[in-house]
Structure formats: structure tokens, C-alpha cells
Chain A
Amino acid sequence: MSTAPTMNTNVLEVRGLSARIAGQEVVHDVGFEVPASGVTAVLGRNGVGKTSTLRAILGLIERTGEVLLDGRRVDGERTERIVRRGVGYVPEDRDVFAGLTVAENLRLAERTGPHGTTPERRRLVDGLFPDLVRRAQQRAGTLSGGQQQMVSLARALLNDNRLLLVDEPTKGLAPRIVDDVAGALAAAARTVPILLVEQNLKVIERLAERVVVIDAGRVVHTGPAPELLGDPDLIQRLLGVHADGVEPPGADPATTAVGHQKGGAR
């Protein structure tokens, strides 16, 4: 399935991507590009297929369509092969290995090869997350939600990736921790392009240059982030929330909350 790479300014191109979970199609014919720098945010109400889109790009769920990394088709490859081509993944809910120590979680993420771990990357991670250095021998399952998110981010940042896929990194975190996570992502974005699924419009405003809005498994809007964030009517129409992240009267927080998290602060 892989073809030779072509000259391309986009690090990632997704064309006609559809994905299924348990036989049901949850992403329909999605297409968008991620430029080779900066943060591209994926927005949408809860349950519209944002996480599934990220997982489909990595081949973690059944999918059809084209996924091009640096102009090379990778949609026929296994997940670990795509990752080794330089894709870091920070999943929703962190997915740290609870029974392993912080140091073991990070050691497991270290890779060899052209997009592998470098001394510079290790220094970057140590600098961004000094708390993890102090807690190296602590089991990851005993960390707070914010600390686990740092482990999850650190695992992706350890390697010299071409692209990071980051899924709702501020979900369920206290406001102060959200700032810390956003700061770490801003620092990371200076070294690697990021495709970011995020519900918090303030975080989007701080980090993202471009947005892709998904609704019911389809892309309904793409464009510069300021264009969307500066248009309250567009935000209301596409995301079902006011520009300040407050839902309209009568909105169901469980299904329409953008800027609100499903879980409580941890």
C-alpha cells in the first residue's frame, strides 16, 4: 500500500477516511491536512468522531481511505510501523501503564531509528516535566490526573517525531493543571507539529492556528483558528456553545459541551 514520498508541505494528509467500531461506521469520508508546523485543532461536540478519527489515522480501529505521512501512504501499515515513522500519540484518558513506574513508562516509549529518542529530546522532557524526574520510581497509577497527563505527553515527546496526535489532554483536569498542560503543549509545538483534539476553547485559542470541525463523523468546517474563534455565530452553529464556552440555555452538557469536560477535575 505504501508509495514513495512526494514533496509536500503538509506532514499529514487524510483523504476519504472512514472508520468503524464494532461494525458501525463512526467516521465518514473525512479529509483534511496538517501543515508541517504549528497546532491544528480538531473540534466538535462530544461523540462526533474526533477520537475515532485520531485512532483511525493510527490504524487502531478498522478504517478505509488514505492517510499520507510526509506524502507517503501509510494506511496499509500496522500501527507500530506508522508510529515508528514518527507519529507520537497522546491518547484520551492518558493510558499510562498504572503498574509500571514513571521511569518504566518513559523507557518503554523510547525508540531507536530515524525518529527515535535523542539526548536533546530527553533534556526537553526533563526540562518540561521536572516533577516526573523526582517521581521516576513512583508507580504511574498512583499519580494524579495531571501528573499522568505529563507522563503521557512525555512519552510522545521523548522521540524525534514528525507529528504528534494529542487527544483531549486537558479533559478532567483542574484549571491550574490545564494551564500547565497547555504550556507544555505550546513548548512542544515549537519543535513538532501537533494535531490536537480539544474541547476547551481557551486552550484552542492559545495554541491552535488552524481548526477542523467534525460533526456526526464528517468534516463540516476547516480554516484558520482566529476565523472560527472570532465568529460567535459560527461557534454557536458548529459547536453548540457560546464563544466563552458557556452552553446555550437548554443545552445538554453531556452531548454538546465544548469547553466543558465530561469528568470532574482530578
Chain B
Amino acid sequence: MSTLILLLVTGVGLGGLYFLVASGLSLIYGLMGILNFAHGSFLTLGAFAGLAAASAVGQDTWGGLALGLVVGAVTGAAAAAVTELGLIRPLYERHIEQVLVTVGLALASVALFEGIWGPNPRTVRRTEWLTRTTEFLGARIPNTAFLNILAAALVLGVIVAFLKYTRYGLIIRAGVENRAMVTALGIDVRTAFTLVFAVGGAAAGLGGVLATQSLNYVSPHMGASLLIFAFIVTVIGGMGSLPGAAVASVVVAVLQQLANYFLANTGDFIVVLLLALVLLVRPSGLMGRRAA
């Protein structure tokens, strides 16, 4: 029983990381129709920048972690906003070219990160509490799982509140439904595009720093690794659906953990099977809009 509890809670924690990446992917696709393959780069850059900032205070201190999270989020947001303004906007309404640009940026940025920080993973130092476990319903849960769950829940709450209670949130929700009509109401939807990229980039940057705490290392490739599962989560949840991304993040991560433990490390395979099943049975995803 304690094993099951351990797998469930760590699964939800991993789901929190997936959600931090998938939330931005889903919002960007929902509003702009762009599959952003460079999203993992925002995560990696946020992780390196966050750790660099944390090092100034002390990587193994709470102050260092807090500073790292803030710097990671800001770096992710800035990188995403610059990407949108510099590369995506000039290709407005040219979706294939936009996607190709993000693919190119993803490949180039990994090479750049390797050039700067080297190709191998670097171990990070964590606060003592994050290296320990806490007993929960008889299971010893790594404290990083609680941190991931808390951060993901906070980010979900902030994004939902932003979408529900702000003018730009209203524009984004309307734009996901019918972007042309938003424009026909006299609203420059391009500002919302930049904002969505920045919000998604901030969540990814935050996820990058959190991932270093769970994995205990930082690497130029960590963004690409998480991005694959974030894409799967986004498709299963329903492209453009934030609640769908939240639910699918947990479902995918828990299933992955259970399969890895009970079915001889077949977690990744089972997740891809689930993706195929969803695409066959419900192509619009768990909570996505049905195709017209």
C-alpha cells in the first residue's frame, strides 16, 4: 500500500512538472495555432539562469531557491517574449514557417547551451529539506514531489485567475475561440500573443528550476526531454485546454510511474499507447473542442 501511495504522490509531483511546461504549450496553441517546439529551450534557459542566480546566494539555501525560481521564471518569460516578437511575429499567419522556426530554435539553442555550459549534466546542490523524505500515509515521499505539486497548483491558480479576471485573460479566452472576431472588435490580438508566450515561458522557466531540484542535475537536454511528455499531455488533455492540460499531466505522470514500477519500466511505452488510444477514440483530447 505504501508503495502505491509513493507512486501516486510522486506521479502527481511529476505531473506538476509536466503541467508547468504543457500549460504554456496549450495556451500558445489554443490562441495562435502554433506548436512551439522551442518551449523546452525556455525551460532549460530558465533552469541555468535560475541556478546561476541561486549560486550567488547559495544553491543549498531557501533564499537561493526562491531567487532561482524568480530568475528562472523571468528568464523564461523574457526568452519567450523575445522569441515571439523577433521570430514568430514576422511570420504572422504563416503557421508552417512559424513551427519550423521553433524547431530550428530548439535545435540551435541546445547546441548553444552545450557550447556555454558543456554537454554533460551538472549536479546541483539543494536545501537539506529537499534531499529528504516525509512520511505520508505510511510512504516515504521525496520532499521535491510536494514542492512540485505546490508550485504547479499555484501556477494553475494564477493562470486561471489571470484568464478569468483580467482584460487580457478575456481577450485570450475569446481568441482561443475565434481570433479573427477578436480582431474585428478592434483589439490588437498580437499583444495577447506576446503575453501568452511570456506567461508560458515563465511557467516553463519555473518548471526548469524545479526540475533541477527533482533530478538533482541541470543539463542542456532537460528541456527537450520534458517537452516530449508535455506535448503528449497537451494532446491528451485537448489542444488549447488549460484544465485538460492539468488533468492530463497528472494522468500521464501517474500512469508512467505505475507502469514503470509494476510493468518493468514500460512507463514511456504505456504513455505513448495512451496517446494513440486518445487520438483514435477522442481526437480532440479529454477536454478539447471537437473539430468542426
Contacts and interface: CB of A to CB of B under 8 A. Distances in A.
Query: Do these two chains really belong together in a complex?
Result: yes
Interface of A: 58, 60, 78-80, 83-84, 89, 91, 95, 97-100, 104, 107-109, 111, 155, 159
A128 to B, nearest CB: 19
Counting contact residues on chain B (CB < 8 A from A), the size range is 10 to 19
A83 B173 CA distance: 20
B173 A97 contact: yes
B177 A109 contact: no
Given A60-B184, A111-B185, 20 more contacts: A58-B184, A78-B183, A78-B188, A80-B183, A80-B185, A80-B186, A83-B184, A83-B186, A89-B185, A91-B181, A95-B178, A99-B173, A100-B170, A104-B170, A104-B173, A104-B174, A108-B174, A108-B182, A108-B187, A109-B185
Contacts of B185: 80, 83, 89, 108-109, 111, 155
A166 to B, nearest CB: 12
Given A104-B170, A107-B170, A108-B170, A98 B177 contact: yes
A80 B189 contact: yes
Interface of B: 170-171, 173-174, 177-178, 180-189
Nearest to A87: B186
Nearest to B175: A97
Nearest to A115: B186
A195 to B, nearest CB: 14
A104 B167 CA distance: 10
Contacts of A80: 183-189
Nearest to A107: B170
B237 to A, nearest CB: 16
A107 B166 CA distance: 11
B181 A95 contact: yes
A11 to B, nearest CB: 17
Top 9 nearest A-B pairs (CB, nearest first) are A83-B186, A84-B186, A95-B181, A97-B174, A79-B183, A89-B184, A80-B188, A97-B177, A109-B185
A1 to B, nearest CB: 18
A97 B180 CA distance: 11
A100 B186 contact: no
